[in-house]
Amino acid sequence: MPIYTTTSPGPRPRDAGFTMIELMVVVLVIALAAGLGGGLYMRSYRRMMVEKAAKDLRLMARYARIAAIEQQQPLYLVMDKANNRVFVATSGFFSGQAESAGAVVSNQFCRPMTLPSGVSFEEVMTEGGQQDELAMDGLFRIRFMPNGTADSAVVIVGNGQTHYALVVNGATGSTRIVMGQAELLSEELVVDLEAG
């Protein structure tokens, strides 16, 4: 006599797929990761814009020094803080010939530049910490002489959080970029040429 057994199918497998809560958790995790990444990207982008402005400023200063030596006439790195502009000019720019051709240098190596959005000139200092020596009609200027010397100066550009400074050595006219706050850079102007 055959024995019949009944087998119970056991627990029924759940329908394949995700619940609404699981989908919401995944979307939330993706949104948080994107938000964090976007914030890091924006901070890095702003820092890079300040660094780029400082490097461009240094290139203009180096051009002014080299051109002053080649042309045997003083050239000026001029900063217009009100309009966030910088350019290289001849002495004719300051003697009332601003409209004349050639008073503002614009060629394939050097063109007037406007700082990127959000970046500004935070401070311009001379060796004595005086800003008035460099200021003329609201424009700050650093003079590069035909013998290779220059006005000692520190020009700080920044966006309120990141600060870069262009340091101009008066004795040699050489320039370098330093990252840091304005109050920490005043000693950068004093250069001891006899120090080893």
> Residues 107-164: pLDDT tens digits?
888 899 999 988 999 888 876 555 555 566 678 889 999 999 999 999 999 988 889 9
Rg (alpha carbons) of the chain, rounded to whole number:
30
Task: Say what the pLDDT of residue 125 is.
Answer: 83
Asked whether the beta carbons of 47 and 160 are under 8 A apart, the reply is no
Task: Say what the pLDDT of residue 146 is.
Answer: 94
Specify whether the backbone of 92 is left (phi greater than 0), alpha (psi in -120 to 50) or beta: alpha
Task: Say what the pLDDT of residue 58 is.
Answer: 94
Task: Say what the pLDDT of residue 184 is.
Answer: 47
Regions of the chain with pLDDT less than 70: 1-16, 39-40, 94-102, 127-137, 181-196
Task: Say what the pLDDT of residue 139 is.
Answer: 84
Terminal CA-to-CA distance of the chain, rounded, Å?
A: 112
Question: Structurally, what CATH architecture does the domain formed by 53-189 represent?
Answer: 3-Layer(bab) Sandwich (3.55)
In this structure, what are the phi and psi dihedrals at residue 77, rounded to the nearest 5 degrees? -90, 115
In this structure, what are the phi and psi dihedrals at residue 32, rounded to the nearest 5 degrees? -65, -45
pTM of the model: 0.71
Task: Say what the pLDDT of residue 122 is.
Answer: 87
Of residues 72, 90, 103, the one with CA closest to residue 143 = 90
